[in-house]
Chains A and B, each alone.
Chain A
Amino acid sequence: MSLLKVDNLSIVFGGVKAIDDLSFTIEPGKIHSIIGPNGAGKTTLFNLITGVYTPTTGTVLYENEGVTGFKSYELAARGMSRTFQNLQIFFNMTAIENVMVGAHLHLNRGFFASFFGLPTIKEGDRHCRETCLELLDFVGLRHYADTDTDSMPYGALKRLEIARALASKPKILLLDEPAAGLNPAESREIDEVIKKVAERGITVVLVEHDMKMVMEISDHILVLDYGRKLTEGTAQEVRNNPDVIAAYLGG
């Protein structure tokens, strides 16, 4: 059974089809990569899947439930989370608070309990802080826990987004260019983090430009070009596909 199924998905921006009649499926528990030249529609596809944009036509099926047009937070409640190509950090909070927002769905959010500062809220927050510290540890940012995010380096913020997404306990995690703008050492660290995420049984969907990294860690690769599927398959199959070579070299 597939985890995510996209059928004939399209979205039009001012007459231009950024995603054009795209269909594919994602199996649970693997690392899937989506590659393609700049402007191919990878980020747009993520936005469509995660409910940030509403498709013009087509459907998205998640765990056999039609979720087209669902809000992002409804999808998050069903176990879907993501990171962003252009950082979306809560710059008005510390690192640990950013991650704790990620755990929002798993905390007592009752208004009156919060308003009157009931012990259950405080207890929940204490416990949440512990688990979120572990997540910061997991991405190698524990020492930044109480740092204001506006004074953290870019590379750390990229990892902070992953920790925040993990705090929502996703079944599927979509990572949009997590290594973009990082130096080779930082890239390798991200690489490790992604593998560890997959080992936890979380299905990873990865958009990445670093071909070496993609080829090495992906179980399955989907190639997009002009919003359409160019091809898909294993790293080996994709690497040898003449269309892919043409799109990348001729491109």
Chain B
Amino acid sequence: MMGKLYLQESLSDMSAEFLQFLFSGVTLGATYALVGLGFSIIYNASHVINFAQGEFVMMGGMGTVFFLGLGLPMPVAILAAIALTTLFGFGLERFAIAPARGASVVTLIIITIGASIVMRGLVQVVWGKEFHAIPAFSGDEPITIAGATILPQSLWVLGVTVLLVLALRFFFEKTIMGKAIIATSLNRDAALLMGINVRFVLFISFGLSAALGAAAGILVAPITLTNFEAGIMLGLKGFCAAILGGLGNGMGAVAGGMIVGIAEAMGAGYLISEYKDAIAFVLILLVLFFKPSGLFGKTGTERV
């Protein structure tokens, strides 16, 4: 009798624990998904991997801190931070990527690395090195679900991520601009011939990607705190997400982000928490060894 009761109890403990890890996994995963989507959008339009993507994320969070400090109400501060980051996205394309057209992939990567150093340097000079917190959007009172708790902010992260993903799908499938971006990613020359303003497409893609990164940064800032270096790991994990899903595959990046987030939370919870940050990278190496173009990337025989 006793034994059975005990077993039941520990079973429900176990499932509560599992649920707890799952909650933190999907919250993390949603963030990685947004960052990964940002990588995908820029990659699609320009075949550039933007190593400053993490700095867009950081700038969203730090920008919000700054505008809140000016006394602006939360929604206004958030919009202002997204607008500011978007400007940086536009600027990166116009003043760094566009003039370097035709440079090798490695050179372009280094330019974006330079941009990330500049953005970190700028934020550090203007806003300092300290960690900052943004107040949670609707309180810190944890919500209990089946024995596990979840922060309201996590629900914000998940909800807004779902909305953004749906909005992006609509944008790419239904709007002229979105279709132009897709066309450019499939065949730049053909897009040019069809009268698509490819330069404008690139410009918009960088802005869009920056806005998306900023949104991710703002959503998680209440949970994780933010400072000028907060974007580095988030950027790298987002890159993992994008690669895991197959570079340039938007929905793949979302799935990749979720997989990375959940694996990280489960791995840290059940296995070894010291190696939490390594999990994403172990996962990506394992996947790439067996599927060299990601889980949902294009496969097939290379044409000669």
- A13, B301: Cβ atoms under 8 Å? yes
B301 to chain A, nearest CB (A): 6
Interface presence of B300 (CB below 8 A): yes
A144 within 8 A of B: no
B304 part of interface (Cβ distance < 8 Å)? yes
Asked if B300 and A14 make an inter-chain contact with CB atoms under 8 angstroms apart, the answer reads yes
Q: State which of A43, A53, A84 has its C-beta within 8 Å of the C-beta of B301.
A: A53
Nearest CB of chain B from residue A68's CB, rounded to whole Å:
16
User: How far apart are the CA atoms of A215 and B301 in the complex, in Å?
Assistant: 33
Q: How many A-B residue pairs have CB under 8 A?
A: 10
Is B304 a contact partner of A84 (Cβ separation < 8 A)? yes
> From A14, which residue of chain B is reached at the shortest CB distance?
B300
Render B286-304 as a binary contact track against A, CB cut-off 8 A, 1 for contact: 0000000000000011001
Contact A43 B300 (CB under 8 A): no
Task: Contact check, B300 vs A47: say whether CB atoms are below 8 A apart.
Answer: no
Tell me the minimal C-beta distance from A50 to chain B in angstroms: 10
Task: Say yes or no: is A240 at the interface (Cβ < 8 Å to chain B).
Answer: no
Complex Cα–Cα for A86 and B304 (A): 7
Closest-CB distance, B300 to chain A (whole angstroms):
7
Is A141 an interface position by the 8 A CB rule? no
A48–chain B nearest beta-carbon distance, Å: 11
Tell me how far the C-beta of B156 lies from the nearest C-beta in chain A, rounded to whole angstroms: 43
In the complex, what distance in Å separates the CA atom of A53 from the CA atom of B304? 9
Q: Give A108 Cβ to nearest chain B Cβ, in Å.
A: 30
The complex places the Cα of A43 from the Cα of B301 at a distance, in Å, of: 14
> What B residues does A52 contact at CB under 8 A?
304
| Residues of chain A with a CB closer than 8 A to B301's CB | 13, 53
Find chain A residues with CB under 8 A from B304 CB: 43, 47, 52, 84, 86, 88
Q: Restricting to B57-114, which residues have a CB under 8 Å from any CB of A?
A: none
CA distance A53 to B300 in the complex (A): 11
A52 to B300, CA, bound (A): 13
- In the complex, A47→B301 CA distance in Å? 11
Chain B residues with CB under 8 Å of A84's CB are: 304
Chain B's nearest CB lies how many Å from the CB of A237?
31
A84–B303 Cα distance when bound, in Å, is 12
Question: Cβ of B300: which chain A residues have Cβ within 8 Å of it?
Answer: 13-14
**A50-70, CB under 8 A of B: which get 1 and which 0?**
001100000000000000000
**Whole-angstrom distance between the Cβ of B104 and the nearest chain A Cβ:** 11
B residues near A88, Cβ cutoff 8 Å: 304
Which residues of chain A in 32-57 are interfacial with respect to chain B, using CB atoms and an 8 Å cutoff?
43, 47, 52-53
Task: Give Cα A52–Cα B304 distance, bound, in whole angstroms.
Answer: 8
> What residue in chain B is nearest A11 (Cβ atoms)?
B301
Min CB gap A220→B, angstroms? 25
Contacts of A86 in B (CB 8 A): 304
Per the 8 Å Cβ criterion, residues 65-104 of A in contact with B are 84, 86, 88
For the complex of A and B, 9 pairs with smallest distance between CB atoms: A52-B304, A47-B304, A53-B301, A84-B304, A13-B301, A14-B300, A13-B300, A86-B304, A43-B304
A-B contact pairs, 10 of them (CB 8 A): A13-B300, A13-B301, A14-B300, A43-B304, A47-B304, A52-B304, A53-B301, A84-B304, A86-B304, A88-B304
